[in-house]
Amino acid sequence: MNKIVVLISGRGSNMENLVSSDIPGKFVLVASNNPHAGGLKRAKNMGIRTAIIDHKTYSNRQDFDLALAKKLEEYEPDLILLAGFMRVLSKQFLSRFENKVLNIHPSLLPAFPGQHSHKQAIKKGVRIHGCTVHFVTPSLDAGPIIVQSAIPVNPKDDEESLAKKVLEQEHQIYPIAVKWFLEKKLRIKDDKVFVDEDPKFSSLLLFRDT
């Protein structure tokens, strides 16, 4: 059975959605750097073990990453899912879990990496926005793209309405990417992801008119 760990920092809706999806694996741990993350309670309610590794109690990033890596290694995860996890993971951390860490980001990467992606999208006046699931590399929100979903941006949209529409899409595409990963359908070549070795599925774009 595939062992999956989820890292969160906040409310944990993606985590809860993943756990409730039909994924061929066992969620062995939900860990947070934020002791007050609402998702910790959600995880406990679903009977999943939780851990807090509070980054504020470490004097530097290396020490935090090392403590986190050690905690995760206790569970021998096949896959680590970042779901609203607000820390950038170092090369040292990622080298221990090579090509086993995925993230979801609320924009059509490479547009709008980092925080406040909806605000950035509105500021730039884009007509299409969305979300991306990608492999995690030490560069922020820049790893090989697995799947994206796009939504139209209407003139009346604000940060809140976009966040709501994009979150619905996040809940659709993250489980798809996780299933592909666990079914060993993903290959990375030249920093690009291929699904089932078929180039036509590379970075599959799911359009949803919401």
User: Which residues are near ligand GRF by CB under 6 A?
Assistant: 8, 10-14, 39, 83-84, 104-106, 167, 170
What residue type is assigned to position 85 of the chain? F
Tell me whether residue 53 or residue 134 sits nearer to ligand GRF (CB atom). 134
Written as six digits, the tokens of 115 are 């925080």
Identify whether the C-beta of residue 151 lies closer than 8 Å to the C-beta of residue 131.
no
- d(C-alpha 107, C-alpha 96), whole Å: 27
Instruction: Give the residue among 51, 109, 117, 114 at the shortest CA–CA distance from 80.
Output: 51
Nearest to 104 by CA among 162, 31, 185, 170: 170
Nearer to ligand GRF, 19 or 194 (CB): 19
Q: Specify the residue, 23 or 83, whose C-beta has the smaller distance to ligand GRF.
A: 83
3-state secondary structure of 168: helix
Q: Cβ closer to ligand GRF: 20 or 62?
A: 20
Nearest residue by C-beta to ligand GRF? 84
Catalytic annotation on 105? yes
> Which of the residues 105, 118, 134, 171 is marked catalytic?
105
Minimal distance in Å, beta carbon 35 to ligand GRF? 15
Within 8 A by CB and 6+ apart from 57, the residues are: none
Query: Which are the catalytic amino acids?
Result: 105
